[in-house]
């Protein structure tokens, strides 16, 4: 089933970059993925259900990277990894904006990251000192900040790299968690903070 889901998701993503979401039919997705109609309807109600299911799989995989890797750093979210991946898919992001589906997908992602940041805080010595309620609140706030940075970064085509955005995000986060602040990021071609 995973291979079929991947084929359907890949087909929908490809079609989204060619035409508006509302004009994509289930049959077009099936033809592109080479999947039978009965198989599709066993798992999905329509293209919107497929889109959100595919987005859930993506956000779960991206948001849990640090926890799954048992990363030893004090990072609370895999910002660099997310931004690097999304940078390669700017066309897809534009298609999502044009289809008016970007808000649903981003809100879904923000929820996944809020939960994973709270879980990550529970792993860090400074975060363990916080109550579960405070970790959940910070997870929600930091996920919101991260998605705000992501949208700003994608919309403005800044020269900042994904690694610089990761650094800037964690510079914002560290004081709220009780971690030592770090220096600012340097824009390409400029010295200093």
Which has more pLDDT, 190 or 177?
Answer: 177
Q: What pLDDT does residue 188 have? A: 45
Cα–Cα dist 153/27, whole Å: 35
Q: What pLDDT does residue 135 have? A: 95
Q: Does the pLDDT value for residue 98 go beyond 90?
A: no
Q: Which of 15-19, 28-32, 147-151 is least confident?
A: 15-19
175-185 pLDDT per residue, tens: 877 766 565 44
Q: Does the pLDDT value for residue 104 go beyond 60?
A: yes
Q: What pLDDT does residue 158 have? A: 81
22-49 burial code (b ≥16 CB/10 A, e <16): eebebebbbebbebeeeebeeebeebee
Q: Does the pLDDT value for residue 23 go beyond 60?
A: yes
Q: Does the pLDDT value for residue 96 go beyond 60?
A: yes
Domains of the chain, by residue range, sit at 54-177
Q: Please tell me what DSSP assigns to residue 182.
A: -
Cβ atoms 109, 136 nearer than 8 A? no
pTM for the model stands at 0.85
68-88 pLDDT per residue, tens: 898 998 899 999 999 999 888
Q: Does the pLDDT value for residue 145 go beyond 50?
A: yes
Neighbours of 184 (CB within 10 A): 12
- What share of the chain has pLDDT > 70, as a percent? 92
| Token duo for residue 192 | 């200093």
């Amino acid at each position: 089933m995973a291979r079929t889901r991947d084929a359907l998701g890949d087909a929908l993503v490809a079609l989204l970059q060619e035409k508006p979401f509302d004009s994509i039919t289930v049959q077009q997705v099936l033809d592109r993925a080479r999947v039978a109609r009965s198989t599709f309807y066993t798992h999905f109600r329509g293209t919107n259900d497929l889109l959100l299911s595919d987005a859930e799989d993506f956000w779960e995989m991206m948001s849990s990277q640090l926890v799954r890797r048992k990363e030893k750093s004090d990072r609370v979210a895999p910002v660099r990894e997310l931004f690097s991946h999304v940078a390669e898919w700017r066309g897809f992001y534009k298609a999502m904006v044009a289809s008016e589906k970007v808000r649903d997908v981003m809100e879904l992602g923000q929820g996944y990251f809020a939960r994973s940041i709270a879980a990550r805080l529970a792993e860090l010595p400074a975060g363990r000192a916080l109550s579960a309620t405070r970790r959940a609140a910070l997870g929600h706030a930091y996920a919101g900040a991260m998605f705000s940075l992501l949208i700003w970064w994608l919309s403005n085509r800044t020269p900042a790299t994904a690694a610089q955005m990761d650094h800037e995000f964690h510079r914002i986060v560290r004081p709220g968690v009780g971690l030592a602040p770090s220096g600012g990021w340097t824009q390409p071609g400029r010295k200093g903070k």
